[in-house]
Amino acid sequence: MTDPLTLDRFRDLADAYGGVMARWPIADHAAAQRLAATPEGSAILDAAMFLDERLDDWAVAAPSRALADRVTARAGAGVGARASRPGRRWWWSGIGLAATFAGAVAGAAVVAATPPVDMVAGTTSFGDVAGMDN
C-alpha cells in the first residue's frame, strides 16, 4: 500500500498543492520531506513556493465586529428551528393538515417564483455544478 514517492509524483503534488507541504496529503508527508531535502526536490518546492507567495498578496479584510454581532444575534432565534419536539408532534400534525391545504395553493405560486434552495440541513447538493468542469 505504501508506494514510494517518485520525483514525478512529488512534482505533481507541488504543481497541485503548492510548496507548503502542510497542504499535501498527509500520507505523503514523510516521503515528501525526504525528497524535499534533495536538490531536485528543493528546486521544485522553491518554484511552487514562489507562486504561493504571489497568491498570498491577495488579502481579505477581517470581518467587522458589527458583522460578527449580527451573525451571533441571529443564533438565538435560529438554533433548533428545525429540531423536532416529540411532545408537540400531535399539535404540529393538526396544524400541518390545515396548513397543507391552505399552503398548497399559495405554495405553488411561491415555488414558481423562488430560486432553488441549494442546500438542506445536514446534506450537500452539487447538482448545480455537474458538467462545469474545466
Partner 1 sequence: MSAPDPDAELVRRIGRGDPAATRLLVAAKLPRILGLATRMLHDRAAAEDVAQEAFARVWRSAATWQSDRARFDTWLHTVVLNLCRDRLRRRREQTSDTLPEVVDPAPDAECLMLEAERGSQVAAAIAQLPDRQREAILLVHYQDLSGAEAARALDVSIEALESLLARGRRTLRTRLVSPQGTTTDD
Q: Interface residues with partner 1 (CB under 8 A)?
A: 12-13, 15-18, 23-26, 47-48, 50-52, 54-55, 57-63, 67-68, 70-72, 74-84, 115, 118-119, 121-126, 128-130, 132-134
Nearest residue (CB) to partner 1, 86 versus 98:
86
Question: Smallest distance, Å, CB 101 to partner 1?
Answer: 26
Task: Give residues with Cβ within 8 angstroms of 5, minimum separation 6.
Answer: 28, 31, 32, 34, 35
DSSP 108: H
Give residue for cell 444575534.
73
Minimum Å gap between C-beta 35 and partner 1 is 17
Please name the residues in contact with 25: beta carbons below 8 A apart, sequence gap of 6 or more.
Answer: 13
